[in-house]
Structure 1
C-alpha cells in the first residue's frame, strides 16, 4: 500500500521548501531568499512525529499566462494538488494575506481536495495580525508554525492525522542495494537545454517536469519513482533523477545556480547509473567531458546519450566524431556506451533504459577469489611486472573487496612500486576477463609495511 501524499502550496517565498526540508529531515530542496526558487514538483518521504507520508514541494503559485514559465509552474502545482490526499496551504503570517493568497484560496475552494491552512513564520508577535487575517480565507483557524525553527510541528501533526493515518501497521520494504530487483537509481545530467526534462517527461508519459525554450529551467534535482516494461514484458522499477544543467565554472556566477550545480553533484553521488545527455545539434564540448570525468571519478556507471537525433545533421559523421573524442578524452575508461535518442519522439529510450539496467549489473558484479587468482596467474605469466632499480616486484594474490564500483586489492611485495602502465594492464585485463564493460574498476595496492621484511626477491 503506497504512502499517503501531501502537497505544499502557496505563493512564492512563503517557506514551502523550508517546511519540505523540515518534514523530510534533509536539505533536499534549494532554499534562498529570492522568490521562485522551486520550479518542478519535488517529492520525498516525510516523518512527522511518527506519521509517515510522501510530501510534494511545489512551485510558488503565480497568476501568469499558461504559456509563460510561471504559468507552466502553476500547472505543475495544480497537478500536484489533484494527485495529493491533502494539501497544506501556506501563507506568510508576517506579511499578512495578499491578493494572490486570496486568489489561491478561491481556486482551492473549487477543488475537491482537503485543505489545511498553515500560517508560517508565526513565531513572536510579528505574525499575530497575519494569523487573524488568514482566518478570513475560509479554511478555518490556521495551524501556526515556524518551518525554519521547527515550532508548531505538534499542531501540524494533529491537523494531518485524520487525512494521512493508515489503519493497521504496514511493514516498509527496505531497499537492498545488492538486490537486482531494487529500483535503478538513474540520474540524467548534462549542459542546460540538452533536453533532460523533456526526456524524463517522455519516459513518464506525462508533463511531470517543466520544459520550454528557456535554458536552465530545472534548478533542483527532482526524483521520480517509475516503472518500465522491459523487452520481455517484466516491470522494472526506476528512480529517475532530473537535474539542473551544468555550465562552465566561469559562467556559474549566480548564487542560486551554484546551489543548483551542487545539487546536481549530490544527485550524481546518489545515482547508480548516470546518463550524460548531449545535444546532437551542438555535438560534444569540453564541458561534457568534464561532467563525464566527474561521474567516473565518483565511481558511477556512465552512459552517454545523443539527444535530438531526429534533427541531427550528417548523423553518421557526428556519431563517429563523438565516439572518437570520447575515446581520447576519457582515457581511463574505454568503450563507454554511446546511444542515440529523441526525447521528443521517444525513439531509442527503451534501449537506453535497457542498457542502464545491464550497466548496473556490471557495476554490481562480484567475482570469486578463486576465479580472480586463476586469471591473475595467467596475466602475470603473460606479462611479468617490471623490476625498478633491479628490485623485483612480487605480486602474490588479488581479491575483490567491494562492488559498486568493482574494487580490487592486490597484495604482494613492493606492489606499491608498480608503474601506472602496469596497473592499467591489470585493470584492463579485469575488465575484459570478467565483462565489466566500461564501468569504473578500481585497483588498490597493498605491500607489507614490516621493516624487517628481508625478502629481496
Structure 2
C-alpha cells in the first residue's frame, strides 16, 4: 500500500530541511544558515511515533518573476502540492509572520489540500510572540516545535493523524530502515537485483538535471542556464522500458551537484554539495559521467572519473549536447584517446554520444548500464578462477628479485560489487606493481569483467619462524 504524502512548504530559511531530516531520521537534505539552500523536491520515508508517510522537502517560496531561478523554484514547489494528502506550512516563530508568509497562506487557502501550520524555532520565550501571530492565519491551531532539537513532535503527530490515519495500516507501523544499511555478504550478493542505482555526475552545467527530466518525461528537477543549480543529491524512482524487448526495468536515478576543481570550491554550501555528490557516487551501482560536447574532455572530468573508479563503481561516459557538437567524429575519437591516456587503470570504458534535449542515445546508455551492473556483480567459481590463474603464471611467471622466487599459490574472489580478489603466496611484498597490473588486466580481459573496476589484494602466508 502506498504511503500518504506530506509536503513541507514555507519561505526560505524557516527550517523546512531541518524538519525533513528530523522526520526521516537522517541528514538527507543539505542544511545551512543561508536562505535558498534547497532547490529541488526531495522525497523521504518518514516515521513519526509509528505513523508512516512520505515527506517531501521543497524549495523556499519566493516572490520573484517566474523566469528567474527563484521563480522557477517556486513553480516546482507549486507542482509538488499535486497529489499531497496534507501540507505542513512552516513559519519562523522567532521572526513572526511576514508578508511572504501571508502570501503563501492565501495561495494555500485556494488549494484543495489540508494545511497544518507549523511554528518552527519555537523553543524558549523568543518564539512565543510568533506562535501567537500564527493564529491570525486562520488555518487552525498552529503546532509549536523545534525541528533542530526535536521538541513538539508529539503535537505534530496529533495534528497529522486525522489527515493520515485513513491511509495508515496499523499493522504495518514500524521504524523506517535505512535502505543503504547492511553488509555486502554473499547472501546479499545472491539476492535478486533491485532497482538499478544510477548516479549522474559531472561538472556544473553539463546537463545532468536536464537529462534526468528527459528520461522521466517531466520537469521533475530544476534546470536553467545558471551553473550550479542542483545542490542536494536527488534520487528519483522510475521505470524504463527497453524499446528492443519491451521489458520494464526499475531504476533509481540520482542527480548530483556539479563538481568543480577543488581550488574553486570556496563557499561552505558548495563544499557540502560536492560532499553530498561524493556520497551519491558511493551509494550508486553504475555512474554516468556526463561531459559537455561544447567543451570536450577536461582535466576535472578525468579527476571525477578517477574518483568513481576508486570507489569501485562501474563507469559510463556520456557526451551530452551532441546535437550541437562541432566536428563530432573528431570530438568522439579525441575523447576516447584522452580517456585511454588519462585512465590507465581501466581500458575500454563505454562511451555514448547523447542529447538530453532530444533524447538521442539515452536508451542505448541505459541498456549498457544494466549490462554493466550484471558484470559488476559477477562471481567467478573458484575452480575456474584458479585454472585461469595457473595459465597466467605459466604464460608469464613472476620475477625472482635477487634470485629469490616469489611464490603465488592460489587466488579467490572474496566479494562482488566491485569484483574483489585475493592472491595468497609468499614474498608478495617484492612483487612488482607491473606484474600485479598484468594479473588485473588478465582478469578483466579473460574472465569477462571488461571495464569494471577490479580490486586485487595480496596476502602472504604467515612465517612461523619470523620474529614476533
Counterpart in the other structure of 1:424: 437
Q: TM-score, normalised by structure 1?
A: 0.96
Q: Distance in 2 between matches of 1:36 and 1:426?
A: 51
Q: Distance in 2 between matches of 1:94 and 1:431?
A: 60
Q: Distance in 1 between matches of 2:411 and 2:164?
A: 53
Distance change in 2, residues 1:131/1:168 (3 Å)? closer
Counterpart in the other structure of 1:5: 5
Does the Cα contact within 8 Å between 1:181 and 1:236 map onto a contact in 2? Answer: no
**Residues 32-77 of structure 1, C-alpha deviation per residue, up to 9 Å, x if partnerless?**
1111111111111112122222111100001111111011000110
Does the Cα contact within 8 Å between 2:305 and 2:315 map onto a contact in 1? Answer: yes
Counterpart in the other structure of 1:220: 232
Counterpart in the other structure of 1:310: 323
Structure 2 residue 222 is the aligned partner of structure 1 residue 210: yes
Counterpart in the other structure of 2:184: none
How far apart are 1:170 and its partner, in Å?
4.4
Counterpart in the other structure of 1:85: 85
Q: Distance in 1 between matches of 2:265 and 2:215?
A: 29
Moved more, 199-208 or 46-55: 46-55
Q: 5 Å matches for 1:1-150?
A: 1-150=1-150
How far apart are 1:451 and its partner, in Å?
4.0
Structure 2 residue 380 is the aligned partner of structure 1 residue 367: yes
How far apart are 1:180 and its partner, in Å?
4.3
Q: Distance in 1 between matches of 2:448 and 2:113?
A: 52
Q: Distance in 2 between matches of 1:267 and 1:208?
A: 18
Moved more, 416-425 or 276-285: 416-425
**Residues 91-113 of structure 1, C-alpha deviation per residue, up to 9 Å, x if partnerless?**
11110011100110011111111
Does the Cα contact within 8 Å between 1:15 and 1:147 map onto a contact in 2? Answer: yes
Structure 2 residue 448 is the aligned partner of structure 1 residue 435: yes
State the superposition RMSD in angstroms.
1.7
How far apart are 1:162 and its partner, in Å?
2.6
Distance change in 2, residues 1:193/1:72 (3 Å)? same
Q: Distance in 2 between matches of 1:52 and 1:269?
A: 27
How far apart are 1:449 and its partner, in Å?
2.2
Q: Distance in 1 between matches of 2:126 and 2:323?
A: 57
Distance change in 2, residues 1:178/1:222 (3 Å)? farther
Q: Distance in 2 between matches of 1:179 and 1:55?
A: 29
Counterpart in the other structure of 1:331: 344
Structure 2 residue 293 is the aligned partner of structure 1 residue 291: no
How far apart are 1:119 and its partner, in Å?
0.6
Q: Distance in 2 between matches of 1:181 and 1:364?
A: 9
Does the Cα contact within 8 Å between 1:405 and 1:441 map onto a contact in 2? Answer: yes
Does the Cα contact within 8 Å between 1:181 and 1:237 map onto a contact in 2? Answer: no
Distance change in 2, residues 1:21/1:178 (3 Å)? farther
Counterpart in the other structure of 2:185: none
How far apart are 1:163 and its partner, in Å?
2.6
Moved more, 430-439 or 183-192: 430-439
Q: TM-score, normalised by structure 2?
A: 0.94
Q: Distance in 2 between matches of 1:180 and 1:76?
A: 35
Q: Helix, strand or coil for the counterpart of 2:82?
A: helix
Counterpart in the other structure of 2:183: none
Does the Cα contact within 8 Å between 2:189 and 2:377 map onto a contact in 1? Answer: no
Alignment gaps of 5+ in structure 1: none
Q: Distance in 1 between matches of 2:413 and 2:430?
A: 20
Distance change in 2, residues 1:271/1:178 (3 Å)? farther
Structure 2 residue 193 is the aligned partner of structure 1 residue 191: no
Q: Helix, strand or coil for the counterpart of 2:12?
A: coil
Q: Helix, strand or coil for the counterpart of 1:427?
A: helix
**Residues 197-233 of structure 1, C-alpha deviation per residue, up to 9 Å, x if partnerless?**
0001001111011101011111111111111112311
**Residues 399-425 of structure 1, C-alpha deviation per residue, up to 9 Å, x if partnerless?**
000111000000112233211111111
Q: Distance in 1 between matches of 2:237 and 2:163?
A: 23
